[in-house]
Amino acid sequence: MALDHQEPDKIPFDLGGTVLTSINVHAYRQLRQFLGLPEKEVGMMDIFQQIAVVDDDVRQKLGVDVRNVAPRSSATHNIVINETDMPGYTFFHDEWQIGWRKPKDKGFYYDMFEHPLSGASSIEDIKNFPWPDPVDPARFEGLQDQAKYVAEELGELVILGGLAAGFIELTAWTRGFAKFYPDLVTNREWLTYLMDKIIDLKMAYWEIALPMVGEYADVVQEADDLAGQFGLLISPQIYREVVKPRHKKIMDFIKARTDARIFFHSCGAIREIIPDMIDIGIDIINPVQVSATGMESSALKRDFGKDITFWGGLVDTQGVFTNGTEQQVRDEVRRRIDDLGAGGGFIAATVHNVQANVPPQNVMAMWETLQEYGNYGPGGVSQRPGDYVYSEPLDKPLMISTSPDAMPARALTPEEAAAMQQAEEALPPVILAMREAIVEGDLPDSIATANQALSEDLDAQYIILNGVVPAMEVVGQKFEEGEYFLPEMMAAALGTRGILDILSPYLTKAGTEPAGKAIIATVKGDLHDIGKNMVGMMLEGAGYEIIDLGVDISPEKFVEAIQESDAQLLGLSALLTTTMPMMRNTIQALENAGVRDQVKVMVGGAGVTQEFADNIGADGYAPDASAAVRKARDLLAASA
């Protein structure tokens, strides 16, 4: 019922239903012990992530409603774990020849260390690669019986697993990230050949699996990690040109063969492409990484809740779940239930697998809160007043969401902040180094990383979107938070300017449009330009083209500048209360000249308030430079 966007008796719960909503073996052993369940050998659901098979006694105790039905390994490839040949590590190669290793000392996960196609250059190299056999009969052994058993005997929801990870992931893993990103821009034809090869394998698998499992399949699982904590790993343009049509092809292929719903996993800040996902027929998204930029749960529910089911988002597996008190976990879970639960369309699960160091007390605090507040009907999810007060407010630093519709900032623990960094590791190192250089205000390093990124054939716009923009957001956030002051902000802006100087010829070459064009100046009579300059630099850092008219600019000059350019934004600054009325005169002059509708007018300065801005007919006001960037984005988005 929940998948039909209707309210069942209570919110369904998933722990261990997929390899993406399960629990690490360490945490699982502790949980069993905590629940007083007998010690037993724990099965491994996925060796890469070291997650456990959740046993029936735990499933019964916790009331898990869904079950994974997954193919077996191919008979032609046995994973051989090598303990001896790499000092400090155990390692193996998977059936795609990707090398994985885990530190022997306290290693929780396997990480990639070898990419089999990193040296490949021709189409022949792709053709000749020893691809795994997707239709090896060994994979499908018992698949049908298992699905039938789960559906008919256990009466649980069947989630049918796929062949492997997403095609973008497999492309990047076989090729290696360092080559993958430049290839997207400069070697796209070859790279898409590789992608299409992998997609063919995935479809060959579905072609056998779907008819075999038939009506027993309730949910079909696909995935591709498309975003990090701050935003997309691939620009929206490239996503729409390269990725989306290929995902659509896979979804169409699946939809033609089953009535099951499509469950799609992508970590990170995917808000921007959720409409695209809905568009290509995805029914369910997972893991709903609510701490990522723009992924505020109430706004997601409001904007997309009718069209897509949220599977996950119950509690972020980093942060309070790991290090918080039980009460903090309860608060977080309660909030997510209230945000996501109303009207069905929500399957309660943690954001990704429960990590190794999550204490069992917190797992149970989550579960108990779900039992207490996850019911529908009278007094249930949809009928509670939204006035819950958190008993233990979370500490700083704040995470500011860049989504125009997102809820106010929420607190983020240092552990979450660290985890955020981890989630970013998929980016090319030079992009991460660039962010660091900007945030640290290091001009030489900023310039060096820009040159380095170009020499790695990264696209200029990709560099700006993934290197400069997120870094300046961090700087703006630190400024708003009182951690950074003008010197630090200035240094960061200077580094950004250095990078943009280097990248701008490549931007024009690629014919890339700036985020927008803005005219800025102080109004007539006012010479105080520091605020205006800060706004200009921050907008520049956010990818806008700036026409800075300077100080003491008459209404006539503003009119001329608008007529001569195709700017969409006009930023008026005034420090003095005596010159503030000149803002009104300037707006009036734009109206008289008939150019008022060409631009959104933003005002700011010491004495300016929202009330004043409304009063003089401005479109927007921002109290500081970093807020001005958000306001600019909102205004342009609204007028687009």
Partner 1 sequence: MTSRERVLTAFEHDKPDRVPCWCGASVEFWEKAKRELNLDDEALRVRFRDDFRRVTAEYTGPQLSLSEGATYRTVFGVERHGMGYGQPMSHPLVNATLKQVHDYPWPDAGLMDVSKIKAEAEAYQGEYAILGGDWSPFWHDLIDLLGMEHMYLQMYDDPELVDAVIKHMVDFYAASSQRVFDAASDTIDIFFIGNDFGSQMGPLLSPEMFEHFILPHLKRLIDLGHAYGIPVQMHCCGGYAPLIPMLIDARLDALHAVQPSCRGMDLKTLKTEFGDKIVFNGAIDSVNVLKNGTPDSVVKDTREVLEIMMPGGGYVAGASHDTILEETPVENILAMFDTVHEFGVY
Residues 370-429 close enough to bind partner 1 by CB under 8 A: none
Q: Closest distance between partner 1 and the C-beta of residue 578, in Å?
A: 6
Question: Which two structure tokens, joined as six digits, stand for 380?
Answer: 């249930």
Q: In terms of CB distance, is 133 or 488 closer to partner 1?
A: 488
At residue 232's C-alpha, the angle toward residues 234 and 274, to 5°, is: 110
CA torsion, ordered 207, 213, 219, 222, to nearest 10 deg: -30
* Of the residues 368, 405, 552, 560, which one makes contact with partner 1 according to CB under 8 A: 552
Work out which of 485, 505, 556, 610 binds partner 1, going by CB under 8 A: 485
Shortest Cβ 6–partner 1 spacing (Å): 47
33 vs 578 by CB, closer to partner 1: 578
Residue 585 CB, nearest distance to partner 1 (Å)? Answer: 15
Residue from 47, 494, 595, 636 binding partner 1 (CB under 8 A):
494
Q: Which of residues 592-621 bind partner 1 (CB under 8 A)?
A: 606-607
Q: What CA–CA distance (Å, rounded) separates 179 from 242?
A: 16
Nearer to partner 1, 429 or 607 (CB): 607
Where b means 16+ CB within 10 Å and e means fewer, 304-331 reads bbeebbbbbbbbbbbbbbbbbebebbbb
* Long-range residue pairs from 389-395, CB within 8 A, at least 24 positions apart, any chain: 390/331, 390/335, 391/327, 391/331, 392/325, 392/327, 392/328, 392/331, 394/320, 394/328
> Does residue number 624 form part of the binding site for partner 1 (CB under 8 A)?
yes
Which residues have CB under 8 Å from 83's CB, separation 6+? 90, 104
Sign of the C-alpha dihedral, residues 5, 11, 17, 19? positive
CA separation, residue 22 to residues 18, 166, 180, 352, 615 (Å): 6, 19, 29, 7, 55
Reduced to 3 states, what is the DSSP secondary structure of residue 583? helix
Render 157-185 in DSSP notation, one character per residue: EEEE--SSS-HHHHHHHHH-HHHHHHHHH
527 binds partner 1 (CB under 8 A): yes
How far is Cα 504 from Cα 514, in angstroms, rounded to an integer? 10
Among 203, 454, 551, 593, binds partner 1 (CB under 8 A): 551
In the list 28, 91, 230, 484, the residue contacting partner 1 (rule: CB under 8 A) is 484
Q: Which residue has the tokens 């064009």?
A: 517
CB of 613 to partner 1, least distance (A): 14
Scanning 147-155, 273-281, 488-496, 584-592 for contacts with partner 1 by CB under 8 A, the matching segment is 488-496
Nearer to partner 1, 393 or 487 (CB): 487
Residue 544 parent element (H or E)? strand 544-553
x-or-dash pattern for partner 1, window 275-314, by CB under 8 A? ----------------------------------------
| Single-letter amino acid, residue 181 | Y
Nearer to partner 1, 417 or 551 (CB): 551
Q: How far apart are CA 472 and CA 499, in angstroms?
A: 12
Compute the least distance from the CB of residue 549 to partner 1, in Å: 16
Task: Compute the distance between CA of residue 473 and CA of residue 220 in angstroms, rounded to an integer.
Answer: 37
Q: Out of 36, 155, 393, 487, name the contact with partner 1 by CB under 8 A.
A: 487
- Helix, strand, coil % in the chain, rounded to nearest 5: 45, 15, 40
- In the complex with partner 1, the residue whose CB is nearer, 24 or 626, is 626
Instruction: Give the shortest CB-543-to-partner 1 separation in angstroms.
Output: 21
From the list 84-92, 138-146, 475-483, 498-506, the region that binds partner 1 by CB under 8 A is: 475-483
Nearer to partner 1, 111 or 552 (CB): 552
The binder of partner 1 chosen from 326, 488, 548, 634 (CB under 8 A): 488
Q: Shortest approach of partner 1 to residue 576 CB, angstroms? A: 7
Strand partners, 367: none
Could you tell me the end-to-end alpha-carbon distance of the chain, in angstroms, rounded to an integer?
A: 37
What tokens were used for 589? 């002059």
- The one among 44, 86, 154, 486 contacting partner 1 by CB under 8 A: 486
AA identity, residue 342: A
Least Cα distance to 216 among 252, 258, 254 occurs for 258
Q: Which stretch binds partner 1 (CB under 8 A): 269-277, 287-295, 527-535, 540-548?
A: 527-535
Of 98-106, 217-225, 337-345, 489-497, which segment contacts partner 1 by CB under 8 A? 489-497
Which of 161, 182, 380, 441 is in the footprint of partner 1 by CB under 8 A? 441
* 456 lies in the binding site for partner 1 (CB under 8 A): no
Angle at 433 between CA 427 and CA 437, to 5 degrees: 140
| Smallest separation (angstroms) from partner 1 to the CB of 527 | 4
- Residue 568 touching partner 1 (CB under 8 A): no
Candidates 263-271, 316-324, 431-439, 486-494 — which segment interacts with partner 1 by CB under 8 A? 486-494
Nearer to partner 1, 242 or 490 (CB): 490
Binding status of residue 578 toward partner 1 by CB under 8 A? yes
Unique residue bearing structure tokens 């053709």? 127
- In single-letter form, the type of residue at position 536 comes to G
Binds partner 1 by CB under 8 A, chosen from 530, 556, 594, 610: 530
Binding of residue 91 to partner 1 (CB under 8 A): no
Strands 51-52 and 66-69: unpaired
15 vs 443, which CB is nearer to partner 1?
443
Number of residues this chain uses to bind partner 1 (CB under 8 A): 28
Interface segment toward partner 1; rule CB under 8 A; list 4-12, 105-113, 456-464, 524-532 = 524-532
| Residue 277 vs 492, nearer CB to partner 1 | 492
Alpha helix (H) ranges present in 467-580?
469-480, 486-509, 530-541, 555-564
Contact segment (CB under 8 A) with partner 1 among 26-34, 106-114, 427-435, 525-533 equals 525-533
Quick one: three-class SS letters along 52-111?
ECCCHHHHHHHCCCEEEECCCCCCCCCCCCECCCCCCEEEEECCCCCEEEEECCCCCCCE
Contact status: 550 vs partner 1 (CB under 8 A): no
Cα 631 to the center of its chain, rounded Å: 22
- Please report how close the Cβ of residue 497 comes to partner 1 at its closest, in angstroms: 11
Q: How far is the CB of 470 from partner 1 (least distance, A)?
A: 22
Q: What is the C-alpha separation between 407 and 302, in angstroms, rounded?
A: 11
Q: Point out which residues bind partner 1 (CB under 8 A).
A: 441, 479-480, 482-488, 490-491, 494, 525, 527-530, 533, 551-552, 576-578, 606-607, 623-624
